[in-house]
Amino acid sequence: MRFTIDRVGIEYTVDGSRTGIPVIFIHGFPFSKEMWKPQVDALGREYYIVTYDIRGHGASDVGDGQYSLEFFVDDLIALLDHLKISRAVAIGLSMGGYIALRAIERHPDRFRGLVLCDTKSEADNNEGKIRRATQMKTVKTESIQQFAECFLKNVFYEKTFTTNPIAVELIRKTIEASQPIAIAGTLLALAARTDTTASLYTIKVPTLILVGQHDAIAPPSAAHSMKDKIPNATLHTIAHAAHMSNLENSEEFNKHLLQFLKSLKG
């Protein structure tokens, strides 16, 4: 299904039951809603499940390729409005977590729970901004395949390449299908995002934090730092996983996710 905001078409899918607790999955960069398949399957019919492609990603429109994390938050809220969902559980991985954290800072009344996966509240430091510039150069002047190759090595645990090649190929194909202008635009948006650390203390909803044991992009130390600041947070480390913990160890990831969602039912 598709809806339009500011002349940009956003592709989304709804699964499960409309009478269940609404949960909205927000993917990482530069992936698509397809990355959530093991979670959508695990949640079954008990929840009202929404997955969508962030602008510039998957089957959503690229638009002019000039993005801000603020636009990504606007799109998320517009999608909730479009679906007439007043309060959802937001589940965000990495960039999806940055979006969820900024969304709850701007619109605290629209969320009833938060799941922060392989993400962090800190903005990019100088080194991070410079790394984004190098990545932008690679997609603009070399090839998306080259960008994908480097990216895969950073996001997957080395053993996953042999234990779960299907997950690696899914992400490779998703990246390779992306438009360079969208990747470059998102890199700029990521480099310019705000730091949400100060707002962690004000999060009132139950929060689950999941992090791959070997995640080097949003490491366990960043996850623990968020847990120390969010008043009602629990944290689990996912074994045998790096940055793509939901794909690399779906079983353990889903166990904690389902437990958390069940606890929200009261």
Identity of the residue, 48 or 119, whose beta carbon is nearer to ligand MLT in the bound complex: 119
Crossing angle of helices 180-191/144-155, nearest 10°? 50
Nearest alpha-carbon partner for 107 in 133, 129, 81: 81
Pick 29 or 47: Cβ nearer ligand MLT: 29
Q: Is 175 in the site for ligand MLT (CB under 6 A)?
A: no
CB of 118 to ligand MLT, least distance (A): 7
156 sits near ligand MLT (criterion: CB under 6 A): no
Residue from 73, 90, 95, 226 binding ligand MLT (CB under 6 A): 95
CA distance 30 to 171: 9
Site for ligand MLT in 186-225 (CB under 6 A): 190, 217
| Residue among 25, 29, 67, 260 that touches ligand MLT (CB under 6 A) | 29
Take residue 97 and report the two structure tokens written for it.
Answer: 């977590």
Instruction: Indicate the residue type of 142.
Output: E
Q: Using the rule CB under 6 A, is 28 a contact of ligand MLT?
A: yes
Provide the angle, in degrees to the nearest 10, between the axes of the packed helices 95-106 and 69-82: 70
Q: How many CB atoms lie within 10 A of CB 33?
A: 23
Count residues near ligand MLT (CB under 6 A).
Answer: 7
For ligand MLT, the closer of residues 145 and 259 by Cβ is 145
To ligand MLT, the closest distance from the beta carbon of 29 in angstroms equals: 4
Retrieve residue 141's tokens: 């002047």
Closest distance of CB 128 from ligand MLT, Å: 7
Contact status: 94 vs ligand MLT (CB under 6 A):
yes
Residue 24 has a CB neighbour count (10 Å cut-off) of: 26
Pair of tokens at residue 49:
């499940």
> Whole-angstrom distance between the N-terminal and C-terminal Cα of the chain?
32
CB nearer to ligand MLT: give 83 or 222. 222
Binding site for ligand MLT (CB under 6 A): 28-29, 94-95, 190, 217, 243
